[in-house]
């Protein structure tokens, strides 16, 4: 797809202010929305604004047919065929919470997460450790992006977790985990795997049958879709073990004054009126990505990342987080700038260069706290970004380096070097047995 024509599909990029258009480099937080997604949502409200699956009239029938078409499309998109289990929810956070709170836990069951999880895949486990006496364990990742499968396998052997819950691609530094190998290790030890797919699904083809995870959570707002829509996908039969978080309309086959019968998955998890317009918008987002081609998207953003990384790699005050090679973190360039607060960097880039990046701790507060860091800057690339926008990013950073001289002092984390050894006391606190 021609880049100029593609960009014209996004209203937020088409509108120029007095200083020109913005360079939106924050798609890891939320992708922009194309006109076709907006049109699909408007079509629902203007042509068939009915309650899907409830009434028998034409509005309800049309809405229901399109929602089920969206469900089938998500199932196919993730390699599950036409009728894979797809639960529509508000976002990936709700999907993770559904699994966490609905799983048939036994007292003392163990859950294993990494030390770089988004709060959505950490806080719920901490709460369940208190409420249901689960045992939460943390697997420390190497700061340079490597993943030691042998060490991970040994840890799973030692802990024997019932569930392993990890990101597929990190929203902090863009690294991806070897999720198929992780699932194989888990399956061999009788554990199940839940993956946070928010940062992987917008950028690469995800075949859940091949990966072998039991559960996979995504959010539409990172896949060209609207906010307020997410999905939980699962292996066949996996949802049968999960209890619904909410009950009510559309979750039951029938009810009496004393009892009820639940509908089969996925419907038992979709209580009440759903965000039908959002679901149809999410489906339109998938169609747009299909036209663009995920492999082309990945190549494009990796090329943009190489331009930025090469321009900044030799600057001693900049520390790039995660893998050294941009091809190993194609959608994200995370970095710290010695002597400059991350929020100040973001404000300077916005006000001086109309470049929009994310600053702070990226909902991974635990990772920063462990290293004594206050935050970092994250530029994230997607299919609508251009080389010119990346050059503006680099130019802004270079000007900032000149404007704010190096005052010396300790440097932040050396992210591309080996991780320092953890003390026995710190290891014991982080990984109680």
Q: Which pLDDT tens digit goes with each residue over 333-370?
A: 999 999 999 999 999 999 999 999 999 999 999 999 99
Domain finish residue from 222, 255, 290: 290
Q: Across-strand partners of 319?
A: 336
Residue 50, class by beta-carbon neighbours within 10 Å (0-12 exposed, 13-18 middle, 19+ buried)?
Answer: middle
Domain finish residue from 240, 258, 290: 290
How does residue 226 score in pLDDT terms, banded at 50, 70 and 90? very high
The per-residue pLDDT for 430 is: 34
Q: Which domain holds residue 254?
A: 39-290
Whether residue 244 is found in the same domain as residue 335: no
Whether residue 265 is found in the same domain as residue 327: no
Whether residue 78 is found in the same domain as residue 216: yes
Inside any domain, residue 239 = yes
How does residue 408 score in pLDDT terms, banded at 50, 70 and 90? low
Tokens at 23, concatenated: 């360079």
Does 132 score more than 60 pLDDT? Answer: yes
Q: CA 189, CA 195: separation in Å to the nearest integer?
A: 17
Inside any domain, residue 47 = yes
| 29 in active site | no
Whether residue 184 is found in the same domain as residue 135: yes
Q: How far is CA 190 from CA 85, 164, 232, 278, 301, in A?
A: 22, 11, 22, 37, 37
Inside any domain, residue 415 = no
At 23, phi and psi to the nearest 5? -105, 105
The per-residue pLDDT for 18 is: 60
According to DSSP, the β-strands at 318-320 and 332-337 are antiparallel
The per-residue pLDDT for 424 is: 29
Does 77 score more than 80 pLDDT? Answer: yes
What mean pLDDT is predicted for residues 380-392? 97
Q: How many domains is the chain partitioned into structurally?
A: 2
pTM of the model: 0.92
Whether residue 257 is found in the same domain as residue 310: no
Q: CA 294, CA 290: separation in Å to the nearest integer?
A: 7
């Amino acid at each position: 797809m021609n880049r100029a024509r593609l960009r014209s599909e996004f209203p937020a990029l088409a509108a120029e202010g007095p200083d020109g258009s913005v360079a939106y480099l924050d798609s890891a937080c939320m992708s922009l929305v194309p006109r076709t997604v907006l049109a699909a949502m408007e079509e629902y409200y203007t042509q068939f604004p009915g309650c899907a699956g409830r009434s028998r009239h034409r509005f309800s029938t049309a809405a229901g047919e399109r929602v089920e078409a969206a469900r089938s499309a998500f199932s196919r998109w993730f390699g599950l065929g036409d009728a894979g289990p797809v639960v529509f929810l508000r976002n990936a956070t709700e999907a993770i919470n559904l699994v966490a709170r609905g799983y048939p836990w036994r007292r003392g069951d163990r859950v294993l997460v990494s030390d770089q999880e988004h709060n959505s895949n950490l806080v719920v486990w901490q709460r369940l450790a208190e409420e249901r006496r689960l045992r939460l364990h943390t697997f420390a990742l190497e700061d340079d992006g490597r993943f030691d499968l042998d060490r991970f396998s040994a840890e799973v052997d030692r802990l024997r977790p019932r569930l392993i819950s990890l990101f597929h691609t990190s929203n902090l530094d863009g690294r991806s985990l070897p999720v198929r190998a992780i699932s194989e290790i888990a399956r061999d030890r009788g554990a199940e795997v839940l993956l946070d797919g928010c940062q992987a699904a917008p950028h690469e083809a995800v075949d859940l049958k091949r990966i072998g995870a039991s559960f996979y959570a995504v959010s539409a707002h990172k896949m060209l879709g609207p906010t307020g829509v997410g999905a939980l996908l699962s292996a066949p039969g996996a949802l049968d073990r999960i209890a619904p978080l909410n009950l009510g309309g559309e979750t039951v086959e029938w009810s009496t004054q004393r009892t009820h019968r639940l509908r089969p998955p996925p419907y038992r998890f979709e209580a009440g009126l759903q965000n039908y317009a959002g679901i149809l918008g999410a489906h339109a987002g998938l169609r747009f990505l299909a036209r663009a081609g995920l492999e082309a998207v990945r190549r494009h953003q990796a090329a943009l990342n190489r331009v930025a990384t090469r321009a900044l790699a030799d600057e001693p005050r900049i520390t790039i987080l995660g893998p050294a090679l941009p091809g190993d973190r194609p959608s994200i360039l995370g970095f710290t700038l010695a002597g400059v607060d991350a929020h100040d960097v973001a404000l300077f880039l916005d006000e001086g260069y109309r470049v929009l990046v994310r600053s702070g701790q990226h909902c991974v507060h635990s990772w920063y706290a462990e290293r004594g860091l206050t935050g970092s800057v994250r530029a994230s690339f997607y299919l609508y970004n251009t080389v010119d926008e990346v050059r503006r990013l680099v130019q802004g950073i270079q000007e900032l380096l000149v404007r704010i001289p190096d005052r010396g002092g300790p440097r932040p984390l050396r992210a591309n070097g080996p991780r320092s050894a953890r003390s026995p006391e710190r290891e014991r606190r982080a990984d109680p047995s």
